[in-house]
Structure 1
């Protein structure tokens, strides 16, 4: 596997899932084999690619809690030839609690063990993980296996407040479990060229790496694509955000996937 990319922000509503969906789709569209992992109990990534099944027991939660989990039971096909998915649902909430109470085996490396035992690292070129706006044990597991972290954010104080906490957590994971993890940068979404956005962006750049590409605010098409359950890049190829997501993938590949 070339790269494992965690999409994360401690704040909701910043286009994490939209970013994960379109990032994975564009990589697959370029001939890469992609495994997407839903690591959020809301299951929005699962809804986008496979359909949400609240009763499915073979999900991320299964990998977190089942000793000697069979990862082949969890991987599902999507309608896209180069994209497979590990889905999630509300079982993940209980799984996080269960893992924290289970001291019989290491809590932070369960996803890694399941993927390693199942030969996942040899089957795909890229893994894209859509994480909940939280720091819980399943997210620590995701960061423990991730090579790269991308942080979608909108320019407001709430998004900026969570960056320091997230940076500290990434440093802790780096020291304890995964020295190779890299904070690639912040991806500005819902961008509008106005004074607030321009000034806020300059503030963020003083403390954090930021991608040159910014995802423009085109809410109607983004919302329509979620109802259609089609990646925005496929649903509306010429809308501003679609063009921006393709540019972002270009930038990311040139900078981090050489």
Structure 2
């Protein structure tokens, strides 16, 4: 199982949309078995897949309980090859409790839990909150790769260097297998300012940038209200086409590694 963290310290850059779209396309177009980990207390990924709940286990329990029952935590979805470990507001308290618990390692708990199911899936995608806290550090420790969605605007690169530094620290101290797979430009509108921003990103941030851009589409907003992946909601939309192209580019890059 290859584990990928979708992460950015800035909100509103399409982290959740990217996680959901990538999972759906890997499953429906490429026949892959996908486990999605919702690692954001808002639980938007869980809501989209119809598994948000306070009645069963969540990622919070995996952070707190060494012996948490994954059968009670992993939720099957309406998609045959997509399962989800959901999140809810319990994760906020869990993060604080983990930080106060010195009885066992704090940063490796999610990795230990995911290893129990690594033979059941081809990919694990982790949708992270726009923050560096103990659960996002756990995600990076558990991951083989990180993908950073980036929306080109005035504040696009706020926190990007800090995130790169955190990835480097995690690789050096806790997870030598972790690599930054690349930045994915989202909400793209083909205006001059965005092209200049992309040029700056490529020239100054010293990180790979995917060739594919995810175009802005009003269908994305509609699909979020319908709790439906964009490819299913509007197959002909620009964003749906772009995410299909991005997944194909990602898989080509993976084969080339």
- The TM tier, using the shorter chain, reads over 0.9
Rounded to whole Å, the distance in 2 between the matches of 1:150 and 1:92 is 22
CA contact (8 A) 1:70 1:114 kept: no
TM-score w.r.t. structure 1 length?
Answer: 0.96
Q: Which moved more, 1:202-211 or 1:97-106?
A: 202-211
Q: Cα deviation per residue 1:201-252 (whole Å; 9 max; x = unaligned)?
A: 000001221100000011x200111111110011100100000000000000
Note the 1:79-158 alignment, pairs <5 A.
Answer: 79-116=78-115, 119-158=116-155
1:226 is paired with a residue of what secondary structure? helix
2:224 to 222, 226, 230: 226
Q: CA deviation at 1:159?
A: 2.4
Q: How many residues align?
A: 253
Would the alpha carbon gap of residues 114 and 72 (structure 1) be closer, same or farther in structure 2, given more than 3 Å must change? same
Tell me the equivalent position of 1:194: 191
CA pair 257-58 structure 1, distance change in 2 beyond 3 A: farther
1:133-190 deviations in Å (ceiling 9; x for gaps) = 0000011111001011111011124221211000000001001111111101110011
Matches of 1:108 and 1:72 in 2, distance apart?
23
Task: Tell whether 2:18 aligns with 1:15.
Answer: no
What is the Cα-based RMSD across aligned positions, in Å? 1.0
Gap change, CA 1:246 and 1:11, over 3 Å in 2? same
Where structure 2 has 5 or more consecutive residues not aligned to the other structure, the ranges are none
Partner of 2:213: 214
Q: 2:65 matched to 1:66?
A: yes
Partners of 2:45 and 2:255 lie apart in 1 by 23
Secondary structure of the structure 1 residue equivalent to 2:125: strand
Matched residues in 2 for 1:75 and 1:167: separation? 30
Structure 2 counterpart SS, 1:63: helix
Q: Deviations over 1:114-140 (max 9, x none)?
A: 222xx3111100000000000000111
CA distance, structure 1, for counterparts of residue 3 and residue 180 of structure 2? 12
**SS at 1:130's partner residue?**
strand
In the alignment, the residues of structure 1 paired with residue 107 and residue 154 of structure 2 have an alpha-carbon distance, to the nearest angstrom, of 31
Q: Which position in structure 2 is the counterpart of 1:204?
A: 201
